[in-house]
Amino acid sequence: MNLKVSIITPMHNSEMFIEETISSVQNQEYKNWEMLIVDDCSSDKSIEIVEQIQSYDDRIKLFKNDVNLGAGLSRNIAIEKSSGDIIAFLDSDDIWFRNKLSLHLDYMNKKSSAFSHSSYGFIDENGKVIKSTYNVGNKSITYYDLLKKTDISCLTAMYDVRKVGKMYMPSLRVGQDYALWLDILKKGFKSDAFDVELAYYRQRNNSTTSNKFKLIKHHWYFLYHREKLSFFDSLYYTMNWAIRGFFKYYIK
């Protein structure tokens, strides 16, 4: 198996973390990959750092937005320009373990997976581990499972372009990745859960998702208007999502 993996990375003012993120990709045991970084109008030294790394590693590809588009549309630019068999996602402040691709691709091959995600840990802005592993279990995730619990995280999700086709994130400022996972699952696929910790999610104080309570109303609106669920179904799934999300980010 020598499938090419396209790693999708949006970037905005990530000078504190982007070098470490790229290093975690360069250090992968699995070598057949490209990393497509789309800068979303950074005003710090992010671009300068990436360009320096590009000078000795042509697997790193940098694209620059003329206007700020947000993470979802920036990811779509990278997806459009990608040439891999597998699409993987890694944000500009998160970190992969050295064996992430080798183990996860082997798992997907054995399961004949079209879509898959894994367990991961949490670090703070200084790189300190702050929580135990978030275990995703071994149960494949369906559309209705994902409505209740956001088990699929962007830093470990991978889909097979040969089976799923190229799929893109909708034009949303929040929850673009979640909407994409739902769109894939609505096509009849499941996301196979690989219950091995393969990455670190960096939990930042000022991140869009750091305040879960602010997102509850938005989540209900999303389910009711975009997913076309009934008022009460939207409320039911939002309550499940909020309670499980609280335990995921604040208790574990």
The pLDDT value given to residue 215: 77
Look at the block and give the residue holding tokens 């109008």: 41
3-state helix, strand, coil in the chain (%, to 5): 40, 20, 40
pLDDT tens string for the chain (252 positions)? 799 999 999 999 999 999 999 999 999 999 999 999 999 999 999 999 999 999 999 999 999 999 999 999 999 999 999 999 999 999 999 999 999 999 999 999 999 999 999 999 999 999 999 988 999 999 999 999 999 988 999 999 999 999 999 999 998 878 899 999 999 999 999 999 999 999 999 997 765 444 566 678 888 989 999 999 999 999 999 998 888 776 655 555
139, 67 Cβ separation under 8 angstroms: no
Kindly report the pTM of this predicted structure.
Answer: 0.93
> Domain map of the chain by residue range?
5-209, 211-252
- Among residues 122, 127, 194, 125, the alpha carbon closest in space to that of 158 is found at 194
Out of 3.90.550.10, 3.20.20.20, 3.30.43.10, 3.20.20.370, select the CATH number for domain 5-209.
3.90.550.10
Take residue 44 and report the two structure tokens written for it.
Answer: 């710090």
The pLDDT value given to residue 171: 86
2, 110 Cβ separation under 8 angstroms: no
